[in-house]
Structure 1
Amino acid sequence: MLPTPCYVVGDAHLGVASREAERGLLHLLRTVPEDARSLVIMGDLFDFWFAWRHAMPRVGFRALAALADLHDAGIPVLWIGGNHDCWGGEALRAETGAEYTLDPWRGLIGPWDTLLAHGDGLRDKEDAPYRRLRTVLRHPLSITAFSWLHPNLATWIAARSSHTSRKARARDGGAGLLAVGSAALADPDGPRLVLHGHSHVPMLRQTGRGVYGNAGAWYLDQQYLVIDDAAITRRQWNGATPATVLDRIERQAL
């Protein structure tokens, strides 16, 4: 169980994010202990992440340090791995203290029965080719072979092979993942809250038996979600506190 209030941030893509977006994220992470009791990262914190045996990418070093500080302050951090930061989760756990998983996470966030998944590969037909590619990319032999490359070369290759999944929002406007989430919410044994990332489309919507949400892409919008016992809000970071509330769904209305 994650305590509330819980901040939810997605798709920061540090490495291609602007300096302003990265500074804003660091500022938000530093304010977490003032207002929140837990943090969820919905994947793709980095535009590229890989943990070699004796090296890690220097991009995002300050963000990792901020996450480690949260752990040391007693703030639990749950990290749902995305398609850009899916290699080297053990190093991320060791360095930050975060709970890191590539699998969907089902559990309680405060009173909310919640299902979390990054969202890559979840659409039935549209994502079928990607699912086949993902099987290859995440195979232990592929990871071992990639680890033999020099980090500079490996990073150069990675930066030039993932343009389509970082440059814009999903072409369907997030409808595909909304449909996946709505199906889960309609299941009698399903959750009451489903959160995805990946599409880069910020969203908060009452559907089926509960609420579907997406924090969007921090590097594009600097938006995030806040879950508390009474409601879920979608907020716009504006460099100060309190942030601008864009949407709100009350739990008692469900």
Structure 2
Amino acid sequence: MISNKKVYFASDQHFGAPTAELSFPREQKFVAWLEQVKHDAEAIFLLGDLFDFWFEYKTVVPKGFVRVLGKLAEIRDSGIPIYFFVGNHDLWMEDYFQTELNIPVYHDNKEFTFNGKTFLIGHGDGKGPGDMGYKRMKKVFTNPFSKWLFRWLHPDIGVRLAQYLSVKNKLISGAEDVKFLGEENEWLVLYAKRKLETKHYNYFVFGHRHLPMIMPVGENSDYVNLGDWIGYFTYGVFDGNNFELLKFEK
């Protein structure tokens, strides 16, 4: 890492929910955060659910989010790497970010090393024990035949239907609804501990849980959940030596 540079992490913005109008102030706040961090960013990681729904037809993507996409394009064009990991709400993302913004898109965890510290990074959905219903449903959603069928819906119908179901089945009411389940019941904590049995990581960084936390899971190893941009407005920052969770107050 370059001296005085930092690596930034954010996830679970869920832009577009519960409505475009109510989402707009959160989008403005996130753009302000991007504007702030670009001045000392070594890299920026977005860990999924940036949108509450996203589907890429061959020639169409959901309209809106122009300020967010424009700011990401500006930052990427300036030479700062941005990495995007799909979440369970934007898992139908394909190559739009790669083609239009030069931002690589990952559909599973990926390892990175910064300043000698090893990171395992991903959205976090479907990891660890339990949640079998979601895991089965994810297989259906990510099946090529399912995506092919959905693509036959006119975008005005498909996007509206998906947005309705997305908001209806999600805790968009705020982060205060999310409760810590205890270390023995947090699936991502258990997942991190299991991964440590075969390989050491200094940091496991995930989203999905909507609950900001940093928890030791082994010797010199921490599990990090980034929270969200619905009620917490939290983000992670690694300065080359330490990882912090901070709240964007602007």
Which residue of the partner structure matches residue 202 of structure 1?
Answer: 212
What letter is aligned with 1:203? M
Once structures 1 and 2 are overlaid, which stretch shifts more, 165-174 or 213-222? 165-174
Which residue of the partner structure matches residue 212 of structure 1?
Answer: 223
Match 1:110 to one of 90, 106, 115: 115
Task: Please give the secondary structure, in 1, of the residue aligned with 2:99.
Answer: helix
* Alpha-carbon distance between aligned partners in 2 of 1:165 and 1:149, rounded to the nearest angstrom: 23
Instruction: Kindly indicate whether residue 159 of structure 2 is the aligned counterpart of residue 155 of structure 1.
Output: yes
* Alpha-carbon distance between aligned partners in 2 of 1:90 and 1:166, rounded to the nearest angstrom: 28
What letter is aligned with 2:207? G
Task: Please give the secondary structure, in 2, of the residue aligned with 1:14.
Answer: coil
* Alpha-carbon distance between aligned partners in 2 of 1:122 and 1:180, rounded to the nearest angstrom: 6
Give the length in aligned residue pairs.
Answer: 237
The answer as to whether partners of 2:233 and 2:248 remain within 8 angstroms in 1 is yes
Task: Please give the secondary structure, in 1, of the residue aligned with 2:231.
Answer: helix
* Alpha-carbon distance between aligned partners in 2 of 1:115 and 1:2, rounded to the nearest angstrom: 21
Q: Which runs of 5+ in 1 are unaligned?
A: 240-254
Task: Please give the secondary structure, in 2, of the residue aligned with 1:18.
Answer: helix
User: What is the Cα deviation at residue 70 of structure 1?
Assistant: 1.3
Q: Give the percent of matched residue pairs that are identical in Structure 1 and Structure 2.
A: 29
When the two structures are superposed, what TM-score results if normalisation uses the length of structure 1? 0.86
The answer as to whether partners of 1:173 and 1:201 remain within 8 angstroms in 2 is no
Instruction: Kindly indicate whether residue 36 of structure 2 is the aligned counterpart of residue 31 of structure 1.
Output: yes
The answer as to whether partners of 1:5 and 1:36 remain within 8 angstroms in 2 is yes
User: What is the Cα deviation at residue 171 of structure 1?
Assistant: 5.3
* Alpha-carbon distance between aligned partners in 2 of 1:188 and 1:29, rounded to the nearest angstrom: 36
Instruction: Kindly indicate whether residue 182 of structure 2 is the aligned counterpart of residue 181 of structure 1.
Output: no
Which residue of the partner structure matches residue 46 of structure 2?
Answer: 41
1:66-215 pair list within 5 angstroms: 66-125=71-130, 127-162=131-166, 163-167=168-172, 170=178, 173=181, 175-184=186-195, 186-187=196-197, 189-209=199-219, 210-215=221-226
Q: Which runs of 5+ in 2 are unaligned?
A: none
When the two structures are superposed, what TM-score results if normalisation uses the length of structure 2? 0.87
The answer as to whether partners of 1:92 and 1:98 remain within 8 angstroms in 2 is yes
From the superposition, tell whether residues 2 and 170 of structure 1 become closer, same or farther in structure 2 (CA, over 3 Å): farther
From the superposition, tell whether residues 173 and 142 of structure 1 become closer, same or farther in structure 2 (CA, over 3 Å): same
* Alpha-carbon distance between aligned partners in 2 of 1:119 and 1:170, rounded to the nearest angstrom: 16
Q: Over aligned residue pairs, what C-alpha RMSD do you find?
A: 2.1
Which residue of the partner structure matches residue 14 of structure 1?
Answer: 15
Instruction: Kindly indicate whether residue 242 of structure 2 is the aligned counterpart of residue 237 of structure 1.
Output: no
* Alpha-carbon distance between aligned partners in 1 of 2:223 and 2:133, rounded to the nearest angstrom: 26
Task: Please give the secondary structure, in 1, of the residue aligned with 2:139.
Answer: helix
User: What is the Cα deviation at residue 99 of structure 1?
Assistant: 1.4
Moved >6 Å (runs of 4+): none
* Alpha-carbon distance between aligned partners in 2 of 1:114 and 1:58, rounded to the nearest angstrom: 34
From the superposition, tell whether residues 154 and 148 of structure 1 become closer, same or farther in structure 2 (CA, over 3 Å): same
The answer as to whether partners of 2:189 and 2:223 remain within 8 angstroms in 1 is yes
From the superposition, tell whether residues 237 and 197 of structure 1 become closer, same or farther in structure 2 (CA, over 3 Å): same
